[in-house]
Structure 1
């Protein structure tokens, strides 16, 4: 009887290996044959799942975005506070630091590749909505134009914090990232301004 292969699981496995490689080597330093070797598969098997490096890169980007969205939504759904929900996107641990290294590499790619630019635009808009749902879900603001503006401002701020943390981790440890996000939350969300530490 032939071996049953879960194709989606294998694609995700290969994408995760590629993600770690991109985080360490960058996009240019990531080759399909190296990903295949690290995965323990032949290049032809990896090429069966990903027709091109471009397709593999897109899968990596989407996979890490999906994981981050799930993390934020879980905290929001479980009634976690707004700071915890939004801080879930920050590079507070190794996995999230890897995700940010990947996204930063893709931002560079988006400047010259129309497909990645379109993907980046879509994901940025979805991320604003993710932050907006977290703000509304926490009860910190009522839904409206102002809450959407706050979501956009906080997402932009979180991206700035994350970028600094990736490039200068000694000066941006996890606690500092959270403190700065808390400061931004308190200055943009009126209901949180008087919240004690």
Structure 2
């Protein structure tokens, strides 16, 4: 009897391998051959799931973003203030998983400068994040909610960039302290 293969799981495994290659070698270094080798597969097996590098890259970016969004559902029992704090804390590169997400996001941000599809994926992700954060501030229906969300996201982005480029100085503890200060 032939082995049953979960195509969605395989695609997810390949996206995870692609994220590791991108973090290590950049997008240019994420060839189909390199990603296949990282996953322990042949290039021929990889192209069964992705027709080309472009398709793999778009799926990798979307998977990274979807993984971040999936955390929102587990916060149903928290107050909006606790949810806001947790959402922003989880956006910082304080763990290996979050650091990988940030490195991949930055690699794709650079790539998106000349790629309208990738730019749209990132634009929609930021809009979704901004809406999510705006819905958690003190007066989510007030006119200042969107501006406050933008301020908080800029705070997180600034902390994250410094942490990525100077991890010895911007330890997880310092990142959390800076966020707490910014939250007031």
Name 1:33's counterpart in structure 2.
33
1:9 equivalenced with 2:13 (yes/no):
no
Instruction: Map 1:67-146 to 2 at 5 A.
Output: 67-71=67-71, 73-74=72-73, 76-79=75-78, 81=82, 82-133=84-135, 135-136=136-137, 140-146=138-144
Runs of 4+ residues over 6 Å off in structure 1:
none
Structure 1 CA distance for aligned equivalents of residues 74 and 169 of structure 2: 27
Name 1:164's counterpart in structure 2.
162
In the superposition, the TM-score normalised over structure 1's length comes to: 0.85
Contact 1:75–1:84 (CA under 8 A) maintained in structure 2 = no
Aligned length: 181
Task: Show CA shifts across 1:92-119 (max 9, x none).
Answer: 0111111100001111011111111111
| Aligned-CA RMSD value | 1.6
Name 2:63's counterpart in structure 1.
63
Name 2:174's counterpart in structure 1.
176
Structure 2 CA distance for aligned equivalents of residues 161 and 107 of structure 1: 17
Contact 2:21–2:38 (CA under 8 A) maintained in structure 1 = no
Task: For residue 142 of structure 1, report the CA deviation from its aligned partner.
Answer: 4.0
Task: For residue 85 of structure 1, report the CA deviation from its aligned partner.
Answer: 2.4
Task: For residue 74 of structure 1, report the CA deviation from its aligned partner.
Answer: 4.1
Structure 2 CA distance for aligned equivalents of residues 149 and 75 of structure 1: 26
Name 1:52's counterpart in structure 2.
52
Structure 1 CA distance for aligned equivalents of residues 132 and 182 of structure 2: 17
Which has the larger displacement, 121-130 or 78-87? 78-87
Task: Show CA shifts across 1:113-150 (max 9, x none).
Answer: 111111111111111112223x25xxx43432212221
Change in Cα spacing, 1:87 to 1:180, as seen in structure 2 (3 Å) is same
Structure 2 CA distance for aligned equivalents of residues 101 and 64 of structure 1: 11
Task: Show CA shifts across 1:40-89 (max 9, x none).
Answer: 22212211211111111111111111111222x14532316232221101
Structure 1: state its 5+ residue gaps: 187-197
Structure 2: state its 5+ residue gaps: none
Contact 1:164–1:172 (CA under 8 A) maintained in structure 2 = yes
